[in-house]
Amino acid sequence: MSQWGKTTRLNGHSKSSKSDSSPKFCDEMVTFRVLQIMIQQQDQTITSIAGTLSTIAQQAGLMGTEITEHNECAASLLILTRSLIRCRMLDDLDHGVDQTDSKLSDAMRRMRKFVRDTEGQFPSPSIWDLGVLNILTERRSGWCIAILIAVLLILLLAVILV
């Protein structure tokens, strides 16, 4: 028999003579080669995607680090700002207390002067039959204390409201 009439086995398939299966064999070889090329292209695409994903993962890690650093910096800045606000509030309170102390000292000075000036203004107790003057003179210091308390409360409210 000639070379064209022989039957051979290729990958478990029987191949009859070249004249009978040549177009089919060529089609299979072309299909096989096309599939190999497609697989190679897919492998290259997957490799490219993997590289891109790796780069994106690295960039995301760097961004996470930067964000963490900025958050820490912002937290420190917030703490510093709060401390400054507290210091400012304490300074304002200290200033208000000093003003109130000054006003209270003035009020106390005026009250002492008022008590001194009003000491001898009432007539002697022998003039009053019912002892009303005695009650008034004993209550005079009580009135001074009441007025002083009222002034202190007004000053305290003024400091709190301002």
Q: What is the pLDDT of residues 100-131, one digit of tens each?
A: 889 888 988 888 888 777 776 655 545 444 44
Q: Return d(Cα 109, Cα 148) in angstroms, integer.
A: 11
Give the residue extent of every domain in the chain: 3-161
Q: Which residues contact 6 (CB under 8 A, 6 or more apart)?
A: 17
The least confident of 22-26, 123-127, 153-157 is: 123-127
| Contact criterion met (CB below 8 Å) for 155 and 104 | yes
* pTM for the whole structure: 0.37
Residue 21 vs residues 10, 12, 14: alpha-carbon distances, Å = 12, 15, 10
| Range list of H helices, 119-131 | none
Query: What is the phi/psi pair of residue 71, to 5°?
Result: -65, -40
